Structure 1
Amino acid sequence: MTGTAQERVVDALRAAIEAGEYPPGEALPSGEVLAEKYGVHRGTAQKAVRQLAAEGYVALARRKKPVVRERPRHLTVVRDRNVYRDEIGYYFDQNAKDWRPLEKPTRGIAVPPEHVADLLRVPRGQDVFTRNRLMGPADAQVAAQVATSYIPMALVGELPALGSEKPGAGGIYDRLEDYFDAPLEWHETVSARLPNAEEQAALRVPAGSPVLVVTRTASIRRGDEVIVAEVNETRMAAAQFAVSYSVHRDESAAWPRGEEVA
């Protein structure tokens, strides 16, 4: 083996977990046992275990042995850049079209993150209306996605159905298109970050395991005005998701190629 002592322990434990030597739900040996097994100091073994926790292989709890986590063997969803529709309404994950809220969605009033306020074109620190959902397959025990919609208060005042517990068939997107008599347009940005406490609990991910964040802006036209009607942030365990899309040629990359410039 090469690398530092800690890296060697991490690699060995990771391989053992992947091979099933330590199955999901089973505790790893104590730091003392691991140190003796791999011929390292106890502190080195403990650092190796913390690194595995950051990678999502084990879960840590105070005064308890680290427990091996269930790890996905395949990607749950591969997102693309299309919006789809079925008898229920619009949806954005082709592989997740049958997902439903795993518990009753919640509504409220809250100050959004600053970047969301900027996208909504409302002053930072100003309250907006929120709709929160934990989404996943109907038989799932753990949410696959945490989705939060942020809607300007002024728009909810103008169109109260946006704040209703049951906005009707097609949800808030159909209500917006019906009211404005225009099609919605969406723009998504995908990023990654470490989860907050709420996301750790809902998605069952450790503090050091990143979440994928899809920030989607829904805009609609009223005459010459473009109104940002909603910003939706969907968070999911990064280890279970991927983003897939076709790569289109810009005019500068057209085929057949034009005359090359020397």
Structure 2
Amino acid sequence: MNPDREEPMVQAAYKRVAGKIRDAIAAGEYPPGAALPSGKEIATEHGITQETALKALRLLANEGHVTIFSRRGAYVRQRPNVRTIVRDRNAYRDEVGYYFDRGAKAWKSIGKPYRGFAVPPAHIADLLGVPHGEDVVVRDRAMGPADSKQALQLATSYIPMSLAAEIPPLRAENTGPGGIYDRIEEHFGAAIEWRETISSRLPDEEEQNRLGLPPTVPLLVVTRESRVRSGDEEVIAEVNETRMAAEQFAVSYAIERDATAAWPREERP
């Protein structure tokens, strides 16, 4: 008998119990932040083993309904009913520098930002035009509302070592007024142009911990390339990858008409 194979009766039991708890959460019997009964209490109430009860709780955690804390038990997770931030396609600027999320303008760093050297993911290396396995400058920070201790957004900038050598502030702790984008524009004497690609994926373990997410809640991933002209060449000066929970963020933008969709329509003969 395969020891890793679940017995159908046990599998049905933990799913059945998870379904009852899920319904109770949806009905408001356990509001957000409320503690659920312990595994022992669930086992007694539903006539199952404690291990089966714990499997039911783990299933609910994987689905994003509850959060399980070591030695504290399971608590109903706050699941947002509305989007926290709606991104658009504009770059903005204030007295601090450029920013891209108007709703997150007043956010602050959660924890200490990271600055150092690391090998970027392969797709980032390809965008930067650097060999796979080669270190780049990495600047990473977690962001959240000023009154929160929980990060809602992770932003990581990747900068080629060659450019950081030309512009030392890019790898410095204090990049100066306006941050890295002002330093890049000053160095090249040209305006940065940004191009963003939006995708989604499930969070890795580190992202789950930093954002307080269960493994089944997908991330909205915004990959932004910073492009600047240097003579006749276009330089990819930086690639930023910003990750956030897809259940809390959305992207909204105005749709522009291409010339083929002009109004009034031309009458066809």
Give the TM interval when normalised to the shorter protein: 0.7 to 0.9
Match of 1:89 in 2: 97
So what's the TM-score if we normalise by structure 1?
Answer: 0.86
Three-state SS of the structure 1 residue aligned to 2:250 is strand
Alignment of 1:58-97 (within 5 A): 58-60=66-68, 65-97=73-105
**Cα shift at 1:50:** 4.2
Out of 110, 123, 126, the position equivalent to 1:118 is 126
Task: Note if 1:243 corresponds to 2:243.
Answer: no
Distance in structure 2 (CA, Å) of the matches to 1:30 and 1:104: 35
Are 2:140 and 1:132 equivalent residues in the alignment? yes
DSSP 3-state at the match of 1:168:
coil
Q: How far 1:64 moved relative to its partner? A: 6.9
State which of 184, 194, 200 in structure 1 corresponds to 2:192. 184
Counterpart of 1:52 in structure 2: which amino acid?
L
Change (3 A) 1:31 1:218: same
The Cα shift of 1:23 comes to 2.4
1:168 aligns with 2:176: yes
Q: Which deviates more from structure 2 when the two are superposed, residues 14-23 or residues 162-171? A: 14-23
Which residue of 2 is the match for residue 196 of structure 1? 204
Pairing partner for 1:24 from 32, 36, 42: 32
Correspondence for 2:109: 101
Query: Which residue identity does 1:28 align to in structure 2?
Result: L
3-state SS of paired residue (1:129): strand
RMSD between superposed Cα atoms in Å = 2.8
Which amino acid in structure 2 is aligned with residue 157 of structure 1?
A: A
Q: Return the offset for 1:247.
A: 1.4
Q: Closer, same or farther in 2 for the Cα pair 1:191/1:40, shift >3 Å?
A: farther
Instruction: Count residues with an aligned counterpart.
Output: 258
- One-letter amino acid of the structure 2 residue matched with residue 230 of structure 1: E
1:206 matched to 2:220? The reply is: no
Task: Give distance in 1, aligned partners of 2:266 and 2:23.
Answer: 52
CA distance in 2, matches of 1:160, 1:97: 27
Q: Distance in 1 between matches of 2:265 and 2:54?
A: 58
Which of these residues, 233, 238, 252, is aligned with residue 225 of structure 1? 233
Gap regions ≥5 residues in structure 2 = 1-11
Distance in 2, matches of 1:28 and 1:104, equals: 33
Residue matched to 2:8: none
Shift of 1:28: 2.9
Moved more, 57-66 or 225-234: 57-66
In structure 2, C-alpha distance between the alignment counterparts of 1:166 and 1:106, rounded to whole Å? 12
Amino acid of the residue matched to residue 77 of structure 2?
A: R
Change (3 A) 1:33 1:241: same
Deviates more, 1:85-94 or 1:32-41: 32-41
% same residue: 58
Q: In 2, Cα distance between the equivalents of 1:255 and 1:42?
A: 67
Q: Measure the CA separation in 2 of the matches of 1:6 and 1:81.
A: 45
- Structure 1 gaps of 5+ residues are none
**1:5 positional shift:** 8.9
